[in-house]
Amino acid sequence: MGKEIVKKVCELLKDVRNQKPLVHNITNYVTVNDCANILLAMGVSPIMADDIKESADITKISDALVINIGTLNERTIESMIASGKKANELNIPVVFDPVGSGASEFRNSTTKRILEEVRIDVLRGNMSEIKFISGLESTTKGVDASESDMKSGNEEGINVAKNLANKLNCIVAITGVTDIVSDGKRTVMLANGTKMLANVTGTGCMTSALIGGACGATNDYFIGAIAGIVSMGIAGEISFEKSGEIGLGSFRVGIIDAISNMNSDVIINMVKVQEI
């Protein structure tokens, strides 16, 4: 286990609660409430401003920006680009969640434009989305990864993450049964979580929000990405243990409860991380 990585994750999550970073989310209307609540549970101040008249101004006063194209529309694309450019200008970290990339030409062209016009610090997606962005053959199931892509081996995922991280000069995080995070040189596999997370709308979006929250309190976005993903995986395990048999509604609420109670002891006792 990467003891030094775990130590840094624990320290970062403490810093998040102490600093209470302001995180600007231009996200989708299906999951916006859950993203806001899970950030509050993390100790972060969330703000959701997607109108072009104010989006860049809000980013200017924020500690991190999260861009999510889940419910894509022409109006918010310009807000995403303007906010991303403002974040780049001020060295504010940008997390990009390319939801459904590969599913439609509109999503594909928007993803390409964002990656061309905005410097991304953390790119988080499922295997289908990341393979598509890498220029590899992939299939999607709407906004979810296809079964064939989900069956991609860890070795393939590691190579995809490393290569894309080097190509885009950013952190690449592939989330799935096993999560992979790479900056092109450092790579880890994370094995926390439960299959039930896939049955709740927005757990991927919430993970990206958590990454934004963590990156808003550090300059080490590699550790920030790991902290966000580990927090969601462990929260899913805790909620499943307490609420899994009750049903999906209780499980969803339990995730936010677990994030609100996340601490170093919980992480140290439960984290499953392997350095590559």
Residue 75 known to bind ligand: no
8 Å CB contact between 38 and 59: no
Q: To 10 degrees, what angle do helices 221-243 and 203-215 make?
A: 140
Residue 175 known to bind ligand: yes
Beta strands per DSSP E along the chain: 22-26, 45-47, 64-68, 94-97, 122-125, 140-141, 144-145, 171-174, 179-182, 187-190, 273-275
Say how far apart CA 76 and CA 5 lie, in whole Å. Answer: 36
Residue 125 known to bind ligand: no
Enumerate the β-bridge partners of residue 122. Answer: 95, 171
Element at 230 (helix H, strand E):
helix 221-243
Residue 196 known to bind ligand: no
Q: Which of 150, 205, 208 is nearest to 177 (CA)?
A: 150
Say how far apart CA 101 and CA 95 lie, in whole Å. Answer: 15
Q: Which residues are annotated as a binding site?
A: 48, 124, 175, 202
Q: Which residues are annotated as a binding site for substrate?
A: 48, 202
Q: Which residues are annotated as a binding site for ATP?
A: 124, 175
